Amino acid sequence: MYNAKTQPKGSSKVLVFGAGNFGSCLASHLGDSQHDVYIWAREERIVTHFNKYHRNAAYLKDHVFPESITAVGPALPSEEFMEDMDVLLFAIPTQFLREMLRTLRPKFNIENMPLMIFVNKGIEVGSNALTLEIITDTCGPEVAEAAAFISGPSFAKEIVDRQPTSVSVASFTEIEANKAATLFHQPHFRCYTNGDPIGIELSGALKNVYAIAAGMSDGLGFQNNTRAMIITRGLAELTCIGTAYGASPLTFLGLAGVGDLFLTCSSPNSRNYTVGFRLGQGESLDTILNTLGSVAEGVTTAKGAKTIIDGLGVSAPIATAIYDVLYNGKDTRLAIRELMELPPSKELELPPTAGKPTRHLLRKLGMEVDSPVPRWRTVQILPGLNDRQ
């Protein structure tokens, strides 16, 4: 029977999966706050180099990590090692997460589960699943219900430079969101909790598609008016898609929604913006992806987003145009022209919150489907859930 491990009052033992930009950055942030941190990398050379020099040989190369952090891998950690952890933090791109969780699941002691935190921002290709569904399929509904999701305007490089930063921390289970927020909260890193993990996940995944659009516009030479239009109309699309999906429209006004949308649509430090910029400048998608050196989740997420948009029957012309540019060879300048030539329409018309995908997901999770918008309240009436420590 599922049981969440009691979290210690002071320092926690944290195992971070993924030694890319964001996994390394979060390991550094937690290591800085006196937590006992381990980082798993799948490349032997990264593990060896990290433990010798306290630097990551492939990502955030200029950063010196706290000496307290230990790199492990490339073999996956043992059952005993993971059971000893208070927190398992996943910073793995969405497309690889299912395989990773499937491999790890037999090593979990479900009766003594560490807090599980996920920071990836994407939709799985093929299944169109959010991370919540991937966790449900691989680890079971109780693990998914207790999982926490961190999202918001947070470039890895700026976090390690201790730039003041804020994020949303969401879970269906309030107590777990609070635990994750407490773990990360620092004077330079504020955490706000949120009870709509589906809305938070959709925000993080879809903003990447709009970041490609904004970059593309800049790459084509359009200026500030155009970028502001894309950000604002992107927010309207994001809110319509999310509301029809069954999330709270208010979630999209938060850090993970408009906050991250604004950040990634307006900075060349965003990989998704960069993909769009280079497309606008005339490079091919293959060349860009072969030389980017890091993941841009918006490229794969555009596929799932298109299927979700079509399935919900909502109007999302920008996301659809990006899908056509990426996968149907549509010319970037033509895409912008066609968007501009659309007939006038109402500025914001929220679809009725049918929430079919959310209802499907909640049923899979074994949760009550009494409201189209999931809230902590819904979770709290389930017997026993509040008793979890």
Ligand X SMILES: NC(=O)C1=CN([C@@H]2O[C@H](COP(=O)(O)OP(=O)(O)OC[C@H]3O[C@@H](n4cnc5c(N)ncnc54)[C@H](O)[C@@H]3O)[C@@H](O)[C@H]2O)C=CC1
Ligand Y SMILES: O=C(CO)COP(=O)(O)O
* H-type alpha helices, the chain: 21-32, 44-53, 79-83, 94-104, 131-139, 141-146, 156-160, 174-184, 197-219, 224-245, 260-265, 271-280, 285-292, 297-312, 317-327, 332-340, 356-364, 376-380
Three-class HEC string of 366-388: CCCCCCCCCCHHHHHCCCCHHHC
Q: Would you put residue 314 in left (φ > 0), alpha (ψ -120 to 50) or beta?
A: beta
Q: Is the Cα dihedral 143, 86, 187, 262 positive or negative? A: negative
Question: Distance (Å, rounded) from C-alpha 64 to C-alpha 370?
Answer: 50
Nearer to ligand X, 91 or 247 (CB): 91
Is 21 labelled as part of a ligand binding site? yes
Terminal CA-CA length for the chain: 14
Please work out the total of residues on this chain that contact ligand Y, with binding judged by CB under 6 A: 13
Stretch that binds ligand X, among 132-140, 148-156, 231-239, 340-348 (CB under 6 A): 148-156
Q: How crowded is the C-beta side of 64, counted as CA atoms within 13 Å?
A: 3
Among 13, 33, 42, 54, indicate the residue that binds ligand X (CB under 6 A).
42
H/E element holding 121? none
Considering only residues 90 to 119 of the shown chain, the ones binding ligand X according to CB under 6 A are 91-94, 96, 100, 119
| 330 part of the active site | no
Among 15, 18, 146, 326, indicate the residue that binds ligand X (CB under 6 A).
18
Stretch that binds ligand Y, among 101-109, 139-147, 220-228, 268-276 (CB under 6 A): 268-276
**DSSP single-letter state for residue 246:** T
Using alpha carbons only, give the angle 374, 380, 384 rounded to the nearest 5 degrees: 135
Q: Is the Cα dihedral 352, 357, 360, 365 positive or negative? A: negative
Is 19 labelled as part of a ligand binding site? yes
Binding partner of 93, given ligand X, ligand Y, none, CB within 5-8 angstroms per partner class: ligand X
Question: Distance (Å, rounded) from C-alpha 298 to C-alpha 316?
Answer: 15
Among 183, 297, 355, 374, indicate the residue that binds ligand X (CB under 6 A).
297
Is 98 labelled as part of a ligand binding site? no
The residue number whose beta carbon is nearest to ligand X equals 20
Please work out the total of residues on this chain that contact ligand X, with binding judged by CB under 6 A: 24
CB of 291 to ligand Y, least distance (A): 15
Is 269 labelled as part of a ligand binding site? no
Which of 5, 179, 207, 306 is labelled catalytic? 207
Question: Distance (Å, rounded) from C-alpha 364 to C-alpha 135?
Answer: 11
Considering only residues 86 to 125 of the shown chain, the ones binding ligand Y according to CB under 6 A are 121
Is 122 labelled as part of a ligand binding site? no
CB of 373 to ligand X, least distance (A): 25
Among 24, 28, 138, 154, indicate the residue that binds ligand Y (CB under 6 A).
154
Nearer to ligand X, 205 or 241 (CB): 205
Tokens of 304: 């799932």
CB of 141 to ligand X, least distance (A): 23
Is 96 labelled as part of a ligand binding site? yes
Nearer to ligand X, 7 or 272 (CB): 272
Binding partner of 65, given ligand X, ligand Y, none, CB within 5-8 angstroms per partner class: none
Binding partner of 272, given ligand Y, ligand X, none, CB within 5-8 angstroms per partner class: ligand Y
Q: Would you put residue 379 in left (φ > 0), alpha (ψ -120 to 50) or beta?
A: alpha
- For residues 212 and 272, the answer to whether their CB atoms sit within 8 Å is yes
Catalytic residue numbers? 207
Q: Which residues bind ligand X (CB under 6 A)?
A: 18-23, 42, 59, 91-94, 96, 100, 119-122, 154-156, 294-295, 297
The site for ligand Y (CB under 6 A) is made up of: 121, 153-155, 208, 211, 260, 263-264, 270-272, 296
Show binding-site residues for NAD(+): 18-23, 96, 156, 271
